[in-house]
């Protein structure tokens, strides 16, 4: 609500500074209308909004914010107040609110997600591998608001603690723990259990927990855009294949072109300065092109500003020979934290990601997208294994989940998993979330070297 109020205040002040003639008091009288935003966010499940994936949260905030603004605009037109209120203020406030509301929610989450009172305590039923992976994932993403506190498992051979959480006993203890500890959320992480046993556990949990989540034995399936459907009493999971829908694919291309043209024009002075710096820093061309694998396995030349010396391979071979202890690091991730091939200007360009600006040309040519998997070379295909088929379904991107999830601080296997997750769960909302996160990652230079 404060974010919406700030958006409108800035819109009014901006119009006044631009020489507009309007009465600020006329807008301050609209403050009771903020209740409409509260109602819309509540109806869309954004209060408190725990357990929402960031891309889904962005979708809900955008839709609800836009619906309220459209409603207010229509009501103003109906009561013939359109000539009183400034259309410029309305449109600017709407645009600012679309930015400020997600930013405000992210700031609150960043400030308080580590507090003990944040989120809902969650009891995990099943201390096996699935439960362990689930608990670790929730612990690593406290902003999600689902805080695992303990396990229950019928297997007496299970250790006393799993990922730092106690295993309190058998699943029959669930009702008592829910009642005594006031826990309202439970996750059934028993994908290997038989149908009858699973139904028994779920029905029993439904009597003592207001929210019960069941983890099915469907690892590797799309997880973002899945909806439960009732088919004549049979539960079915509908997996929406966004990649096969022409509307979202067209929207992605339009977003690519619009953003690339705007960013390209804005960055022309930067491109000129970087080109001069690269040329003055070391001998060699300004740009560097490398053959990469694109959508459908087609090869293309990905462009970057040159960040290495000319005889890079010879320098690397000599360096690894002199420092054999670093050979394993190179073989594992094809990266070195202190790469001797990188020039002084190159280190700055990599840290700020400015070396990738020329790839905007690849986006315009339809060879890359703004967001997508990290473009790979032929030598990396074996490391993707069967997941290469997923990689080849989309255009590689200038940025992606890997870049906003740690970049060079992640292992190669984690990169492959992140690329696979992106393809399985792709949507325009996920792209917008990654683009927003990219700005923060670039400013903080997280994982860049």
Per-residue model confidence as pLDDT tens digits over 281-295: 888 899 989 999 999
- Per CATH, the number for 120-219 is 3.40.50.720
**What are the boundaries of each domain within the chain?**
1-113, 120-219, 246-307+342-444
The answer, yes or no, to whether residue 16 has pLDDT greater than 90, is no
> 210-268 pLDDT, tens per residue?
888 888 876 666 566 677 777 777 777 777 767 767 888 888 899 999 999 998 898 89
Mean pLDDT of 348-368: 91
Mean pLDDT of 422-444: 86
> 57-101 pLDDT, tens per residue?
999 999 999 999 998 888 777 665 555 677 888 889 999 999 999
pTM: 0.82
> Model confidence at 275, in pLDDT bands (50, 70, 90)?
very high
Q: Which residues pair with 146 in a beta bridge?
A: 120
> Model confidence at 315, in pLDDT bands (50, 70, 90)?
confident
Give the contacts of 425 (CB within 8 A, at least 6 positions apart): 55, 222, 223, 224, 225
How far apart are the C-alpha atoms of 246 and 252, rounded to whole Å?
10
> 107-136 pLDDT, tens per residue?
999 899 888 889 899 999 988 888 888 899
pLDDT, position 445 = 67
pLDDT, position 222 = 59
pLDDT, position 284 = 87
Give the contacts of 118 (CB within 8 A, at least 6 positions apart): 112, 142, 145, 147
pLDDT, position 397 = 94
Mean pLDDT of 411-436: 87
- The residue with greater pLDDT, 155 or 299, is 299
Are 407 and 441 in contact by the 8 Å Cβ rule? The answer is yes
Mean pLDDT of 30-37: 84
């Amino acid at each position: 609500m404060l974010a919406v109020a700030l958006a409108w205040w800035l819109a009014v002040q901006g119009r006044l500074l631009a020489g507009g003639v309007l009465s600020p008091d006329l807008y301050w009288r609209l403050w009771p209308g903020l209740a409409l935003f509260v109602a819309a966010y509540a109806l869309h499940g954004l209060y408190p909004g725990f357990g929402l994936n960031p891309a889904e949260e962005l979708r809900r905030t955008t839709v609800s914010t836009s619906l309220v603004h459209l409603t207010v605009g229509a009501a103003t037109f109906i009561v013939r107040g359109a000539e009183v209120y400034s259309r410029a203020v309305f449109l600017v406030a709407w645009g600012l609110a679309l930015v400020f509301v997600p930013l405000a929610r992210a700031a609150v989450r960043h400030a308080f997600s580590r507090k003990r009172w944040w989120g809902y305590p969650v009891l995990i039923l099943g201390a096996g591998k699935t439960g362990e992976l689930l608990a670790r994932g929730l612990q690593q993403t406290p902003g999600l608001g689902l805080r695992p506190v303990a396990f229950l498992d019928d297997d007496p051979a299970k250790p006393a603690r799993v990922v730092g959480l106690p295993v309190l006993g058998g699943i029959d203890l669930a009702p008592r723990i829910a009642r005594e500890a006031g826990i309202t959320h439970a996750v059934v992480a028993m994908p290997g259990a038989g149908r009858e046993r699973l139904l028994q556990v779920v029905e029993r949990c439904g009597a003592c927990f207001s929210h019960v989540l069941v983890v099915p034995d469907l690892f590797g399936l799309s997880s973002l855009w899945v909806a439960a459907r009732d088919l004549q009493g049979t539960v079915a999971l509908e997996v929406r294949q966004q990649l096969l829908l022409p509307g979202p694919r067209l929207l992605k291309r339009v977003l690519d072109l619009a953003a690339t043209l705007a960013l390209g024009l804005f960055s022309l002075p930067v491109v000129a300065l970087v080109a001069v710096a690269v040329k003055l820093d070391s001998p060699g061309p300004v740009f560097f092109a490398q053959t990469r694998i694109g959508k459908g396995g087609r090869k293309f030349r990905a462009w970057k500003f040159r960040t290495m010396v000319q005889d890079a391979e010879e320098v690397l071979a000599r360096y690894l020979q002199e420092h054999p202890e670093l050979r394993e690091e190179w073989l594992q991730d094809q990266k070195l934290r202190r790469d001797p091939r990188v020039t002084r200007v190159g280190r700055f360009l990599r840290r700020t990601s400015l070396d990738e600006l020329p790839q905007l040309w690849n986006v315009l040519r339809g060879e890359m997208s703004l967001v997508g998997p990290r473009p790979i070379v032929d030598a990396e295909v074996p490391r993707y294994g069967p997941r290469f088929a997923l990689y080849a379904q989309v255009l590689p991107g200038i940025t992606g989940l890997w870049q906003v999830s740690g970049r060079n601080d992640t292992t190669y296997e984690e990169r492959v998993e992140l690329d696979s997750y992106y393809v399985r769960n792709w949507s325009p909302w996920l792209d917008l979330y990654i683009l927003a996160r990219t700005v923060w990652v670039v400013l903080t230079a997280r994982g860049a070297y």
